[in-house]
């Protein structure tokens, strides 16, 4: 019995062998169809050990996601691997040093998803400040006839602090401008722009009404949003995290939300996702979403298309379109 999902499971075939690290149920149809045009596609999590041994040695291309964990040890199972195409922009789960040693090219899906992540950050800002979710529940509970919904907080004209002014951070800044907000940022690369640059995260936090985290997860950014930064953000400040859970110290965040050291938080990413601390879920001053930053039909279609174009270029001996610099 074959565990291949490819219609032509013929090992003698010279079509490239592509191995997906995500299960078939998690791969969008459009991505699967495109990849099947590029080679023979196998789904690693659904293969028996013996099948993995056989196909692993033949695989020239791996398909991963932003949440894949690809270590040197994982790579040992794929001695012929020359490329990994990730369906996502963040690559914190990939051991870049190991990839370099092996001469493996990693591609990701930048740009096409920036608008969606920026939109979600803004939806959180608006929802936290204007209490849209709470107002909706309040109305459904039939409380309107007893009086008006409590006054909330204005967004327009406020200070928007962006921690990480990359492609997505810049889109968040542009949305802030449309809301007549003052824009401040601190950026690990120290780039200068028309917006106000702060030398440290702490100074940015002191200044900000909304502090949006949109830096990559690295050793340098691990838990950098800690008790001190949250204290600096202050009782009227909101934290929004659309980057990675590891950038924020969850315990410090829970403490600061409980004690109202900050006003509230909007979180799309979590340290132990898909598991979310019960304490966070119990707090009224949070908005929690299940890592949906890029989760629209349109964006996922564009991401799939970019993955396929990268793989197609590579298997045909051309340069991939969006390689990650390494």
List residues with catalytic annotation: 244, 273, 291
Of 49-57, 82-90, 181-189, 255-263: span binding ligand 8YV (CB under 6 A): 82-90
Here the tokens at position 205 are 């936090």
Return the range that interacts with ligand 8YV (CB under 6 A); candidates 65-73, 147-155, 195-203, 270-278: 65-73
Tell which one of 39, 90, 161, 245 touches ligand 8YV (CB under 6 A): 90
Residue 269, SS3 per DSSP: coil
| Least separation in angstroms between CB 230 and ligand 8YV | 23
If one asks whether residue 67 binds ligand 8YV (CB under 6 A), the answer comes out as: yes
C-alpha distances in Å from residue 144, one per residue of 137, 138, 139, 148, 154: 11, 7, 6, 6, 21
**Helix 167-178 × helix 114-130 angle, to 10°:** 50
Q: Which of residues 263-302 bind ligand 8YV (CB under 6 A)?
A: 293-294
Q: Which is nearer to ligand 8YV, 66 or 201 (CB)?
A: 66
How far is the C-alpha of 26 from the C-alpha of 186, rounded, in Å?
A: 36
Tokens representing residue 236 in the block: 């009227």
CB 240 within 8 A of CB 213: yes
87, 94, 207, 210: residue in contact with ligand 8YV (rule CB under 6 A)? 87
**Cβ pair 51, 65 in contact under 8 A:** no
Question: Closest CB to ligand 8YV among 66 and 257?
Answer: 66
* Contact region with ligand 8YV (CB under 6 A), list: 11-19, 62-70, 126-134, 250-258: 62-70
∠ Cα 62 317 78 (to 5°): 25
Q: Which of 31, 85, 89, 112 binds ligand 8YV (CB under 6 A)?
A: 89
Assess 208 for contact with ligand 8YV (CB under 6 A): no
Using CB under 6 A as the binding rule, whether residue 56 contacts ligand 8YV is answered as no
- Smaller CB separation from ligand 8YV, 89 or 229: 89
Q: CB 49 → ligand 8YV: shortest distance, Å?
A: 26
The residue (of 90 and 131) whose beta carbon lies closer to ligand 8YV is: 90
Residues 113-142 that bind ligand 8YV (CB under 6 A): 113
**With respect to ligand 8YV, which residue has the nearer C-beta, 123 or 227?**
123
176 counts as binding ligand 8YV under rule CB under 6 A: no
| Alpha-carbon distances, residue 179 vs 42, 68, 160, 278 (angstroms) | 47, 36, 10, 34
Determine the length of the chain.
326
Parallel/antiparallel/unpaired status of strands 264-267 and 286-288 = parallel
Q: Is 246 in the site for ligand 8YV (CB under 6 A)?
A: no
Piece of the chain touching ligand 8YV by CB under 6 A; list 84-92, 171-179, 248-256, 278-286: 84-92
φ, ψ at 244 (rounded to 5°): -145, 145
Q: Which residues contact 86 (CB under 8 A, 6 or more apart)?
A: 63, 64, 65, 66, 68, 94, 106, 107, 108, 109, 307
For position 164 contacting ligand 8YV by CB under 6 A, the verdict is: no
Residues with Cβ within 8 Å of residue 209, at least 6 apart in sequence: 158, 159, 160, 161, 236, 237, 238
Query: Closest CB to ligand 8YV among 168 and 224?
Result: 168
Residue 257 in contact with ligand 8YV, rule: CB under 6 A: no
Residue 6 as a binder of ligand 8YV (CB under 6 A): the answer is no
Q: Of 82 and 167, which CB lies nearer to ligand 8YV in the complex structure?
A: 167
Give me the phi and psi of 230, to 5 degrees please.
Answer: -65, -40
Applying CB under 6 A, the residues found at the interface with ligand 8YV are 65-67, 87-90, 113, 293-294
């Amino acid at each position: 019995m074959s565990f291949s999902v490819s219609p032509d499971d013929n090992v003698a075939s010279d079509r490239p062998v592509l191995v997906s690290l995500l299960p078939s149920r998690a791969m969008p149809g459009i991505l699967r169809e495109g990849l099947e045009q590029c080679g023979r596609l196998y789904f690693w999590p659904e293969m028996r050990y013996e099948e993995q041994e056989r196909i692993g040695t033949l695989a020239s291309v791996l398909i991963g996601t932003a949440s894949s964990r690809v270590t040197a040890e994982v790579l040992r199972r794929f001695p012929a691997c020359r490329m990994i195409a990730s369906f996502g922009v963040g690559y914190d789960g990939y051991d870049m040093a190991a990839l370099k040693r092996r001469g493996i090219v990693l591609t990701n899906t930048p740009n096409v998803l920036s608008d969606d992540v920026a939109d979600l950050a803004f939806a959180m800002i608006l929802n936290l400040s204007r209490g849209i979710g709470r107002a909706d529940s309040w109305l459904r509970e039939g409380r309107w006839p007893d009086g008006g919904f409590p006054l909330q907080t204005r967004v327009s004209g406020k200070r928007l602090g962006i921690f990480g002014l990359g492609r997505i951070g810049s889109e968040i800044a542009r949305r802030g401008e449309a809301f007549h907000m003052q824009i401040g940022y601190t950026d690990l690369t120290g780039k200068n722009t028309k917006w106000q640059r702060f030398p440290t995260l702490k100074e940015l936090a002191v200044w900000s009404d909304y502090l949006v985290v949109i830096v990559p997860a690295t050793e340098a950014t691990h838990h950098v949003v800690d008790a001190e930064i949250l204290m600096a953000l202050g009782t009227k400040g909101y934290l929004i995290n659309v980057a990675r859970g590891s950038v924020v110290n969850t315990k410090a965040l829970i403490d600061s939300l409980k004690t109202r050291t900050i006003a509230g938080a909007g979180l799309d990413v979590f340290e132990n996702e898909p598991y979310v601390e019960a304490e966070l879920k119990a707090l009224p001053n949070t908005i929690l979403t299940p890592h949906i930053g890029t989760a629209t039909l349109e964006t996922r279609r564009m991401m799939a298309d970019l993955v396929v174009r990268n793989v197609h270029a590579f298997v045909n001996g051309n340069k991939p379109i969006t390689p990650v610099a390494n």
